[in-house]
Chain A
Amino acid sequence: MKLFKSKSSAGLLSAPYMAWALIFILVPLGMVFYYGLTNDSGSFTLENITTIAKPGYLKALIRSLRLAVISTFVCFILAYPLGMILSSMKLSKNTYIVTLFILPMWMNFLLRTLTWMTLLEGKGVINTVLEFFHLPTINVINTGAAIVLGMVYNFLPFMILPIYNSLNKIDENVINAARDLGANTLQTFLKITLPLSLPGILSGITMVFIPALTTFAISTMLGGSKILLIGNIIEQEFTQLYDWHLGSGLSIVLMVFIILNMIIETIFDKGGNA
């Protein structure tokens, strides 16, 4: 009885955070929806949202989706074998190497992107080296490829970590059991390892796809002013054009994609468990 009393009074301690979350999470989100669904005079409109269908906006959205999908895919292709290699190593060794892969994440995100500016520029480090060896120079800066490279470089650790964790959790005897029941290496991978690491893959995809879809800094730095992503357009609406209504409307569109991503993730996750 005494514990019950003290337990429920402990619950009251959540009140300050509830208030905080209301003011700083729910109300601001409500304001995005309010601005997104109204015009200057305060009356309801869907125009801010439907603007996404206009050529310039749609192009930016499709470009953002395309680059985000490519980056996510590249991250997955690079991270999965790495996760398998790391989880197959001995524990004392692999925590050390995993840390090495996560370490660049602690360096400022903009500085990490800056390094690729320096490397890729027309007269940058890579081209200078290529010239020195009389090789043809590359012209990657201010292209979609440079943006993808920047995204992969920045977000790769977000893919490595969950994949490594999910692979590392698989009981070695479960793999042995599949082999014992007659599965060869490939069958074991496809039927056991891959499905069991699916939760890690899915959270890795989310952790890369959403920042890649919504970034504006990477595209500004590596895409010049030529390649606008949806993030750049929203940023401009708020910081240069001061059209909060349109900016909010476009943000709602972004959130739709985030929610879609979550729904797909849940379906896959359940499908894997059924």
Chain B
Amino acid sequence: MKNVLKKLYLALLLIFMYAPIITLIVLSFNSSKSRAKWGGFTLNWYINLLSDEAVAGALINTLTIAILATIFSTIIGTVTSIAMIGLNTKLRSFIMGITNIPMINADIVTGISLMLLFRFLHIGTGFTTILLAHITFNIPFVMLSIMPRIKNMNFYVYEAALDLGASPVYAFTKTILPDLVPGIVSGALMAFTMSLDDFIITYFTKGSGFETLSTLIYNEVKRGIQPEIYALSAIIFVVVLTLLMIVYRVPSSKTKEKANEK
């Protein structure tokens, strides 16, 4: 009885989470422009979408910014996390305090503060400003996923490597870096998804005439929903689902191994 109730609750919440998405996907194949009536199956909206240059441009912008922001924020975040090894606790917590600001602060405040900065510095809004903003809010995610590994690290291994005659650089790449790699990878993945998903900070730092997928959708929605947007949602959902399945495959097989060891 108790188990039935538990399963029912799980099922209801899963329906709440997924029914809207499924409705959206169904509507993307609906030939009737009205959302309420089923006018028959069509792929027209997908065809329209693919020939839409604005969407293609926004997609390219989104991906370019996400990839570049991930690369830069991962490099800066990793280097800074490693630098933390050499800092005393006071400086460490000072840096972590500043790093926490964009995470705790509301996106809208972060967005307008950067907008004020870019206007003040007369940096032309668009690609560059969005990229700078994304790097800024991504670095904390990278650092937060690396720092726990830094804190739990066994530095004797590094010293042992030096003792055995390794150069500091060689010892570092052979002992410390491998320990950090899982943190770096998950930080980079976080940064990438945060960048893809961001709307608010992009909205305030983009200026006019430059769109990412998020801002494009926002403009479209304000004008009224076009069925092409459903097609776009469906594609994004399927792509995200596939990517996640690939990403999650790796750690899940690892946890299984660990469970078996126990």
Indicate if A touches B (C-beta under 8 A): yes
A125 close to B35 (CB less than 8 A): yes
| B contacts with A: majority SS | helix
Residue numbers in B under 8 Å from A110 (CB-CB): 199, 214, 217-218, 221
Q: A124-B36, A153-B20 are in contact. Are A18 and B244 (CB under 8 A)?
A: no
Interface string of B93-125 (1 = CB under 8 A from A): 001001101101111111011111100100000
Q: How far is the CA of A164 from the CA of B120 in the complex (A)?
A: 44
Residue from the list A81, A91, A214, A248 in contact with B106, Cβ < 8 A = A214
Q: A110-B199, A251-B108, A254-B106 are in contact. Are A117 and B225 (CB under 8 A)?
A: yes
Residue from the list A31, A118, A251 in contact with B27, Cβ < 8 A = A118
Chain A residue nearest to B6 in the complex (CB): A85
A14 close to B87 (CB less than 8 A): yes
Interface presence of A173 (CB below 8 A):
no
- Which of A19-27, A138-146, A176-184, A188-196 sits within the interface? A19-27
Interface presence of B42 (CB below 8 A):
no
- Which of B11-19, B45-53, B63-71, B177-185 sits within the interface? B11-19
Interface presence of B21 (CB below 8 A):
yes
A114 close to B233 (CB less than 8 A): yes
Residue from the list A9, A11, A128 in contact with B37, Cβ < 8 A = A128
Interface presence of A210 (CB below 8 A):
yes
Q: How far is the CA of A251 from the CA of B108 in the complex (A)?
A: 8
Q: A82-B10, A110-B199, A110-B218 are in contact. Are A214 and B109 (CB under 8 A)?
A: yes
Chain B residue nearest to A79 in the complex (CB): B13
Residue numbers in B under 8 Å from A81 (CB-CB): 9
Query: Which of A11, A116, A127 gathers the greatest number of chain B CB atoms within 10 Å?
Result: A11
B24 close to A95 (CB less than 8 A): no
Chain B residue nearest to A156 in the complex (CB): B17
A210 close to B218 (CB less than 8 A): no
Interface presence of B84 (CB below 8 A):
yes
A106 close to B197 (CB less than 8 A): yes
Interface presence of B236 (CB below 8 A):
yes
Chain A residue nearest to B88 in the complex (CB): A11
Q: A17-B79, A31-B116, A104-B17 are in contact. Are A124 and B35 (CB under 8 A)?
A: yes
Q: How far is the CA of A112 from the CA of B110 in the complex (A)?
A: 23
A13 close to B24 (CB less than 8 A): no
Q: A110-B217, A118-B24 are in contact. Are A29 and B113 (CB under 8 A)?
A: yes
Interface string of B70-93 (1 = CB under 8 A from A): 000000110110111111000100
Query: Which of B84, B109, B213 gathers the greatest number of chain A CB atoms within 10 Å?
Result: B109
Q: How far is the CA of A110 from the CA of B255 in the complex (A)?
A: 33
B23 close to A211 (CB less than 8 A): no
B80 close to A14 (CB less than 8 A): yes
A227 to chain B minimum Cβ distance, whole angstroms, is 15
- Cross-chain pairs A/B with CB under 8 angstroms, 19 sampled: A10-B83, A11-B83, A11-B86, A20-B136, A24-B133, A31-B116, A85-B9, A91-B255, A92-B256, A100-B17, A114-B229, A115-B20, A128-B36, A153-B17, A153-B20, A217-B218, A234-B112, A238-B115, A254-B109
Q: A24-B136, A32-B116 are in contact. List 4 more A-B contacts (CB 8 A).
A: A25-B98, A103-B244, A108-B214, A216-B108
B: residues with CB less than 8 A from A are 6, 9-10, 13-14, 16-18, 20-21, 23-24, 27, 34-37, 76-77, 79-80, 82-87, 91, 95, 98-99, 101-102, 104-110, 112-117, 120, 132-133, 135-136, 139, 155, 158-159, 162, 168, 193, 196-197, 199-200, 204, 213-214, 217-218, 221-222, 225, 229-230, 232-233, 236-237, 240-241, 244, 248, 252, 255-256, 259
Closest CB pairs A-B (n = 3): A11-B86, A10-B86, A28-B113
